[in-house]
Amino acid sequence: MKEKSFNMAILSCLLFSLQATAGGIPVFDLTSKLENAQQWAKEAKQWLQTAQHYKDQIAAYKQQLATATGVRDIASFITQVKNLKADLEKLRQPGQALNELLLSGRSPAQFDVLYQKYKIFDTCNTEQSRNYANICKQQVINKAIQLEQTDEIQKQVSHSLGEINQLSQRVALSKDLKESQDLANSIQLKSVMLNTLTTQWEMSVKASEQREKMLEDERTKRWNKQQLNAPITDFNNL
């Protein structure tokens, strides 16, 4: 039975092969194989060209991004942005810490060092009450922070203006249109960063002025309270 089934299978294969040949489908055609190989080679070449096109597109996009930021090295641009963020954070932190100081009434060690540096501006009498003297100290610290920040901002602005001036000179000397555009974009980027930094500084100044007003009001209140609690002078015993 198994042998009969096996023979039937072979017969079926032979019949299929004969039908295929009769239908015009070649079992093996050397010419056709060569034509197919040539077609595959042609398609492979097209795929390579397509891949190169996409590669060029990606490179062009990266170049476009570099042009938009004004620098060819994207890592350099990211570093500049991170530096700006760090500079803004340096401006923000002292003011925030000072706000916390005013709420708590305590003076962190970092502010004690700053006070020692600028205590010449303390106009309070050393014999005043502790609460009143503490307000005077906070006023000095508030002014000191603003002086320190202003000095730092002046240095950064001078440095940035120097860089912009150098870039402007390079633009004037450049004979390459692409380079000139890149330099101009770089100048624009630095100008935006400079504007952002100075804007943050102006906000810091306004915050300092508000703290000064609040401290001055509190100083007046404590002075009045101190005067009310002061012992009455007996002029008969003078």
pLDDT at 205: 79
Query: Does pLDDT of 215 surpass 50?
Result: yes
Residue 30 lies in a domain: no
Reported pTM: 0.51
Decide which of 1 and 38 is more confident.
38
pLDDT at 16: 43
The token pair at 31 is 């010419």
Structural domain range at position 143: 72-227
Residue 160 lies in a domain: yes
The closest of 189, 130, 194, 198 to 161, measured between CA atoms, is 194
Distance CA 147, CA 100 (A): 19
pLDDT at 75: 47
Residue 189 lies in a domain: yes
> What are the pLDDT digits (tens) for 126-174?
666 777 788 888 888 888 887 777 777 777 777 777 777 777 777 777 7
The closest of 219, 32, 202 to 124, measured between CA atoms, is 219
Distance CA 114, CA 141 (A): 7
Residue 162 lies in a domain: yes
Residue 170 lies in a domain: yes
> What are the pLDDT digits (tens) for 39-98?
555 655 565 565 555 455 545 545 554 454 444 444 454 455 555 556 556 656 665 666
Residue 183 lies in a domain: yes
Domains held by the chain: number: 1
Residue 93 lies in a domain: yes
Residue 80 lies in a domain: yes
Q: Is 10 helix (H, G, I), strand (E, B) or coil?
A: helix
Residue 178 CB burial class (10 angstroms; 0-12, 13-18, ≥19)? exposed
